[in-house]
Amino acid sequence: QVQLQESGPGLVKPSETLSLTCTVSGGSISNYYWSWIRQSPGKGLEWIAYIYYSGSTNYNPSLKSRVTILVDTSKNQFSLKLSSVTAADTAVYYCARGDYVWGTGTNFDRWGQGTLVTVSS
């Protein structure tokens, strides 16, 4: 059973960079899309970005200028960096596995438990 686990600081100062890592266990990181999704009371569920195991990426245009997503297949991990954070970036951040179904796109079939990141000085 594939499991995902987020890790990283729970508190980030305004204007700094949020950094999170997702560790995938119980299965290979190959052949799937790996996403970051966040959830805040004000904006609901918001997809941030995905990376394919090969390294190709896709970003939400609303965040693209501030986001970097990377994969490390040797460690079965992928990571998120979100720069110049503000209070509006306070949210629960989830990592998720994207399963591409031909003709119907990618669904998110495995999720991490989520980690709350608060942006505050």
Partner 1 sequence: DIQMTQSPSSLSASVGDRVTITCRASQNINNCLNWYHQKPGKAPELLIFAASSLQSGVPSRFSGSGSGTDFTLTISSLQPEDFATYYCQQSCSSPPTFGQGTKVEI
Least CB distance to partner 1 at residue 70 (A) = 19
Q: Between 51 and 96, whose beta carbon lies closer to partner 1? A: 96
Q: How far is the CB of 75 from partner 1 (least distance, A)?
A: 22
Least spacing, CB of residue 13 vs partner 1, in Å: 26
Spell out the residues 6+ positions from residue 37 whose beta carbon is closer than 8 angstroms to its own. 45, 46, 47, 48, 93, 94, 95, 96, 108, 111
β-strands 18-25, 77-82 pairing: antiparallel
Q: Which is nearer to partner 1, 21 or 73 (CB)?
A: 21
Q: Which is nearer to partner 1, 74 or 102 (CB)?
A: 102
Q: Which is nearer to partner 1, 53 or 108 (CB)?
A: 108
Smallest gap from residue 28 Cβ to partner 1 (A): 18
DSSP character for 13? -
Which residues bind to partner 1, rule: CB under 8 A? 44-47, 58, 60-62, 94, 96, 99, 101, 103-109, 111-114
Q: How far are the Cα atoms of 58, 62, 93, 100, 104 from residue 8, in angstroms, in the given order?
A: 22, 23, 10, 28, 33
